[in-house]
Amino acid sequence: KMGIEPPKGILLFGPPGTGKTLLAKAVATESGANFIAVRGPEVLSKWVGESEKAIRQIFRRARMVAPAIVFFDEIDSIAAMRGSDPSGVIDRVVNQLLTELDGMQPLRRVVVIAATNRPDLLDPALLRPGRFDKLIYVPPPDYKARIEIFKVHTRKIPLAEDVDINELAKRTEGYTGADIAAVCKEAAMLALRETFVKSSSLHVAKVEMRHFLEALNKISPSLSRSDIEMYDKLAKELKRVSTSGGFRRVQLPYG
């Protein structure tokens, strides 16, 4: 009604394990759109022309089943800066992506969402207005988000009264949602093994705080402080150079 075209493309970027894929799936579920998921490396072929053909087929399918969301995971693997691949395959794939985004056949009721851990590797042409208009930074979970992630992943675990979710959240700075999920799983397994050794039973009475602390000693955070600082710096730079004004930062409250 306002005569404003919705964004064709949305780029989710941030460290691994922060929920970019989950966010894309949630958008599709909430919107009721068909979800077409594509892992970047799966598109590439050693045969000339096959990679570009795969891109064309993906967009053709999306138009046929619209409303649809096309989700490219690890898009940096197929859309790096042109000239970086001696074989020329990446250049042709990038050109095909640009053709589909700009193309003669409009993307009516089709939105393209891409995720990457390395937005700095992408061909700059993809980030120009009319292509990936919206840049969304998905950072590691903050303290409040880590509390919610622990709640999600301990929902079905029998917890002892001494388990302090707030304390666990304080101890897990630098842990991604995927890391926290692994900690909860390891804590449950430690309690299970302990129970089995004592009674040869697989029935776990309770998972205690000490099990979580032992799990934390075994599972290190995926991200160091320097990693987080690097991503924050990269986010600020992308926000500065974003010509479409479409930069956003989101904090996912779940893992």
| Centroid of chain to Cα 126 | 18
- Domains of the chain with bracketed CATH: 9-140+227-249 (3.40.50.300), 143-222 (1.10.8.60)
What is d(CA 7, CA 136) in angstroms, rounded to the nearest whole number? Answer: 13
- Here the tokens at position 13 are 């970027």
CB 79 within 8 A of CB 93: yes
Q: What percent of the chain has pLDDT over 90?
A: 49
What is d(CA 115, CA 138) in angstroms, rounded to the nearest whole number? Answer: 10
Interval 16-39: pLDDT, tens: 888 898 888 888 889 889 999 999
What is d(CA 191, CA 150) in angstroms, rounded to the nearest whole number? Answer: 17
Using pLDDT thresholds of 50, 70 and 90, give the confidence band for residue 74. Answer: very high
pLDDT at 149 over 70: yes
pLDDT at 253 over 90: no
Query: Residues 191, 194, 196, CA angle at the centre, nearest 5°?
Result: 110
- For the residues 216-243, what does the mean pLDDT come to? 85
The model carries a pTM of 0.81
pLDDT attached to residue 201: 63
For 71, the 3-state DSSP assignment is strand
- For the residues 51-56, what does the mean pLDDT come to? 94
pLDDT at 97 over 90: yes
pLDDT at 2 over 50: no
Using pLDDT thresholds of 50, 70 and 90, give the confidence band for residue 254. Answer: very low
Q: What percent of the chain has pLDDT over 70?
A: 89
For 80, the 3-state DSSP assignment is strand
Lowest pLDDT segment from 91-95, 99-103, 146-150: 99-103
pLDDT attached to residue 178: 92
Taking 3-state DSSP, the helix, strand and coil percentages for the chain, each rounded to the nearest 5, stand at 50, 15, 40
